[in-house]
Structure 1
Amino acid sequence: MPTLHQSDLATVVRADATDPHIIDAAPVADLLATDPPYGVRWQSGHRAQAWPELLGDDGTLDVPAVLAAWTRRRLREKRHVYVFGYRPDQLAGPLRLGGTVELIWDKRHVGLGNLSLPWGPEHEVFTFGVYCPSKVGRAQGGGRLAARLRQGSVITTPRKSSTRHPTEKPIALMVQLVESSTTRGELVLDPFAGSGSTGVAAILAGRRAYLVEAEETYARTAVERIQRAEAIARQIAAA
């Protein structure tokens, strides 16, 4: 397996998340949190730099089916799932999710969107759900208790510009999700890791991370960020 980084806190694998062998080789996780391709052929003419291609963003990748394989084979029962860019009605059936909630990330930043319209997007939709293989469990919406008290469905975290990845999520946002659905020492899985924000958040929150990213530039960026986060975590532990 093309493992770029491995430690007691994190593993970063450069691989195709649709590959069954990659799925089977991953450890069983306590949380799946990911920002998969949206199928919109993301590109921008407003940046001097050229982003590497977002693999699978041409609309041909069946993201719900891919994530269904990951949850079925690599997520503990009644554990939580967060998926950016998709609504509960798109994921609940394929991923066998109960207790789904549509969450809103308030970016406090007006994005480009359709520049011909008077309104620009300032939020992003994502899905929370509980992996319940049983139909009865899904109907009841049961799931493992969260690590935090119940919260509102709108999360306000300012979006920061990034030169690492076009859809990079803020660490503060991902820490909230990780801390809401895991306890210290548990394993967070991201099969579409991008530049590694999920993994960084997991490590800084005292969890472990397993990341899979297909594009080499993003995968190596994730390794660099993970190593910096590990250094910080070890300093804190030694203090």
Structure 2
Amino acid sequence: MDRRKSLKSIVLGSVAGGLAIHGCKPSTEGAVLVEAPKITYPGRVPLETELINELQDEQFLNPHELETLTILCDLILPPSDEFKGASDADVVGFIEFMCKDQETLQPDIRGGLMWLDHKCNTENGVEFKGATQEQQKAILDEIAFYDPEIPGNERPFEVNFFSTVRNLTMTGFYTSKIGIEEIGYKGNMPNVWDGVPEDVLEQHGVSYDEEWLAKCVDQSKRGVIAEWDEDGNLLT
């Protein structure tokens, strides 16, 4: 299994990565607030739509944090000649939204980005976003994996931070239009069903109503989308 396929499996993992640090909502002083357009979301009730638009109007990450996170996400899921990368699916926008929707993520994401800059400044004399890709990867290699079998090797904050961002990156990408197309998911597709086999019906002493059978097990209409009237009666 190659690295890309391995990362896809993380989509089903826990987004929070076991982190539950509670704190006051961090200040967004200095952040550039861009008012998002009001959008009506299909399948959402009015209350949900109102909440989503309220969150879109808020800004959590400042420009420096957004730039750093963009680099980090593209290192986790880089583009290639065959596949798109994290930035192509606006994964950072997804993480920004999740931080506003689940405020317990905010200290972890902001603290982790601060840790990256401090670590990189200490070792390379530059902020994380200004380092070379080799320097950036060297730092990430130290926190990308955790071996609980090593005696005294407690899971540190920075490992949890990277795990959280990695999970959010994969979740954001593979639930986007680009990611869904990459997986090849087509959604629910009609198939051929001829009903319960006759021998099984006989075993249980039941049979199909001919009118119902003609309406529901007619393969000539398998491409027709069912419609109901206001009273719930099947029309087609």
Instruction: Report the TM range for the smaller structure's normalisation.
Output: under 0.3
Please give the TM-score of this superposition, normalised by the length of structure 1. 0.25
Q: Which of the two has higher C-alpha Rg?
A: 2
Please give the TM-score of this superposition, normalised by the length of structure 2. 0.25
Q: Which has the higher strand share?
A: 1
Higher relative contact order (CA 8 A, sep 6+): 1
